[in-house]
């Protein structure tokens, strides 16, 4: 049976480089042979939302080693072997931390245990494959959000799947290198997608005209497209099965962020709920959040986190790195509705960076209109 190592990180805040605890467990021939765990001084502030998840407070890590102090230990345990984590979050944590301290990277083969779970257990292929849920399925006793215990739980799940299916890890590695099913990116402009900001606009439209007129004098003018981009998640993406929500102003058009997320496999949600794994927090206009320092989506996320939900609050830069965004000459496929018939229209990366969501829709509409007129002229 192939040897492997499982790993889990806890972080102090939304920055994936703010590691405050690490847990590593080594397995050889189907048995646990070694374990390692330590608190880490992230040299960054702790967010209350993160403390509510793992219970680690700033005073607990004051005398703990910093990540550069642990570099040799991590390299020794992870180099040239299969490294398994439950989800891609931990992979990004290590990569971001090495970059933060300008430490040299090293060879390792990273595997996502959720992809193994989804392929081996059909009942969890689409949802319910979170660490605690699968642990309960196998009757494993766990201590949630303790790095060492989470790493052990991940390893025990892998061992049970291998034993249950009579396979070895190498068999699954080869299978996971191939997508479950090829799926083209589908972008539907025909559907009207509301998010929480649209609902607030709808409520605003139902106000008394005099109240609305008075409010508009102090409310900033914001252009919001009537049609928002609706995309289907890429089943071959590394984050397929995970849900994401956006809040605040991003440096890129919101519809471009939706395409980036969907290509990485994310399902885009309009509101924060227990089924959401990530909330991307952009810049907030203080005139829009009233007396609160954060948006209603972020407040809702904090409430859920305090009640035990594992929702990650991340910055836009972290989101883009998770999606492994790189400039390329590829074109994004979108569809525009014309006379009840959808037609594919290509939008180049340059256009995405220069057009806002509203003008993107107008561009698509004008392209299909021109094609319709050309088609009519050719028919005559």
> Which bin fits 300, alpha (ψ -120 to 50), beta or left (φ > 0)?
alpha
- pLDDT tens by residue, 89-133: 899 899 999 999 999 999 989 999 998 998 899 999 888 888 999
Report, in this order, helix, strand and coil percent for the chain, each rounded to 5: 40, 20, 40
Q: Residues 116, 87: one domain? A: yes
Six token digits for residue 282: 């952009």
| Number of folded domains that form the chain | 2
Six token digits for residue 367: 């392209």
The single-letter DSSP state of residue 66 is: P
Give the number of other Cβ atoms within 10 Å of residue 8's Cβ: 27
Q: What was the pLDDT predicted at 11?
A: 94
Q: Are strands 230-231 and 82-85 parallel, antiparallel or unpaired?
A: unpaired
To which H or E segment does residue 344 belong? strand 341-347
Q: Residues 249, 313: one domain? A: yes
Q: Residues 140, 288: one domain? A: no
Which residue, among 254, 257, 269, 270, has the nearest Cα to 222 in the 3D structure? 254
Q: Cα(273)–Cα(230) distance, rounded to whole angstroms?
A: 19
Q: What was the pLDDT predicted at 305?
A: 84
Which residue, among 178, 175, 228, 180, has the nearest Cα to 201 in the 3D structure? 228
Q: Residues 315, 186: one domain? A: yes
End-to-end, the C-alpha distance of the chain in Å comes to 70
Q: Residues 150, 190: one domain? A: no
Rounded to 5°, the CA angle 345-350-352 comes to 60
Q: What was the pLDDT predicted at 64?
A: 97
Q: Residues 218, 114: one domain? A: no
Six token digits for residue 325: 């965004």
Q: Residues 220, 316: one domain? A: yes
Which residue, among 10, 129, 96, has the nearest Cα to 61 in the 3D structure? 10
Rounded to 5°, the CA angle 100-105-110 comes to 105
Q: Residues 265, 315: one domain? A: yes
Q: Residues 85, 135: one domain? A: yes
Considering 176, 206, 230, which residue would you say is the last residue of a domain? 176
The whole-model pTM stands at: 0.60
Q: Residues 122, 253: one domain? A: no
Q: What was the pLDDT predicted at 117?
A: 93
Q: What was the pLDDT predicted at 371?
A: 53
Q: What is the largest CA-CA distance in the chain?
A: 81
Can you give the CATH number for the domain in which 13 is found? 3.30.420.10
Q: Residues 157, 115: one domain? A: yes
Range of the structural domain that residue 35 is part of: 4-176
Considering 176, 209, 243, which residue would you say is the last residue of a domain? 176
Q: Cα(213)–Cα(357) distance, rounded to whole angstroms?
A: 26
Q: Residues 167, 187: one domain? A: no
| C-alpha 348: how far from chain center | 24
Rounded to 5°, the CA angle 285-286-287 comes to 90
Q: Are 21 and 55 in contact (CB under 8 A)?
A: no
Six token digits for residue 344: 């594919």
Considering 176, 204, 233, which residue would you say is the last residue of a domain? 176
User: Can you tell me whether residue 189 is helix, strand or coil?
Assistant: coil
Which pLDDT tens digits describe the chain residue by residue (380 residues)?
578 999 999 999 988 899 999 999 999 998 999 999 999 999 999 998 889 889 999 999 999 999 999 999 999 999 989 999 998 889 989 999 999 999 999 998 999 999 899 889 999 988 888 899 999 999 998 888 899 999 999 999 999 999 999 988 888 887 776 555 433 333 332 333 333 333 334 444 444 555 444 544 444 433 444 455 667 888 878 888 889 999 988 878 888 888 889 888 899 998 999 889 999 988 876 655 556 667 888 888 888 888 778 888 888 888 888 887 643 333 334 333 333 333 444 444 444 344 444 444 444 445 445 555 555 555 55
205: CB partners within 8 A, 6+ apart: 212
State phi, psi for 194 to the nearest 5 degrees. Answer: -95, 140
To which H or E segment does residue 73 belong? helix 67-78
Can you give the CATH number for the domain in which 282 is found? 3.40.50.10190
């Amino acid at each position: 049976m192939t040897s492997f190592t499982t790993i889990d990180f806890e972080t102090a805040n939304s920055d994936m480089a703010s590691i405050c605890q690490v847990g590593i467990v080594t397995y050889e021939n189907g048995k646990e042979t070694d374990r390692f765990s330590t608190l880490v001084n992230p040299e960054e502030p702790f967010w209350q939302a993160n403390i509510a998840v793992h219970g680690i407070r700033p005073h607990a890590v004051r005398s703990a080693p910093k990540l550069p102090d642990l570099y040799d230990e991590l390299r020794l345990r992870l180099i040239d072997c299969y490294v398994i984590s439950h989800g891609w979050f931990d992979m990004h944590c290590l990569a971001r931390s090495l970059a933060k301290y300008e430490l040299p990277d090293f060879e390792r083969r990273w595997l996502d245990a959720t992809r193994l779970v989804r392929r081996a257990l059909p009942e969890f292929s689409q949802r319910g494959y979170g660490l605690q849920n699968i642990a309960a399925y196998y009757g494993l006793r766990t201590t949630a959000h303790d790095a060492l215990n989470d790493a052990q739980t991940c390893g025990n799940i892998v061992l049970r799947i291998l034993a249950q299916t009579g396979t070895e890890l190498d068999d699954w590695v080869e299978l996971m290198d191939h997508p479950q099913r090829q799926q083209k990116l589908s972008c539907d402009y025909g559907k009207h997608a509301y998010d929480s900001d649209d609902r607030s606009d709808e409520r605003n439209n139902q106000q008394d005209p005099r109240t609305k007129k008075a409010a508009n004098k102090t409310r900033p003018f914001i252009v919001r497209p009537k049609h928002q981009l609706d995309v289907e998640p890429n089943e071959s993406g590394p984050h397929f099965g995970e849900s994401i929500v956006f809040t605040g102003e991003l440096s890129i058009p919101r519809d471009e962020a939706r395409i980036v997320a969907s290509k990485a496999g994310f399902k885009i949600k309009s509101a924060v709920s227990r089924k959401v794994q990530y909330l991307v927090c952009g810049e907030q206009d203080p005139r829009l959040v009233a007396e609160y320092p954060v948006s209603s989506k972020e407040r809702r996320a904090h409430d859920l986190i305090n009640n035990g939900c594992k929702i990650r609050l991340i910055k836009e830069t972290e989101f883009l790195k998770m999606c492994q965004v790189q400039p390329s000459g590829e074109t994004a496929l979108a569809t525009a509705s014309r006379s009840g018939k959808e037609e594919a229209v290509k939008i180049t990366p340059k256009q995405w960076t220069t057009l806002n969501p509203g003008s993107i829709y107008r561009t698509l509409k004008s392209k299909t209109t021109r094609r319709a007129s050309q088609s009519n002229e050719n028919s005559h």
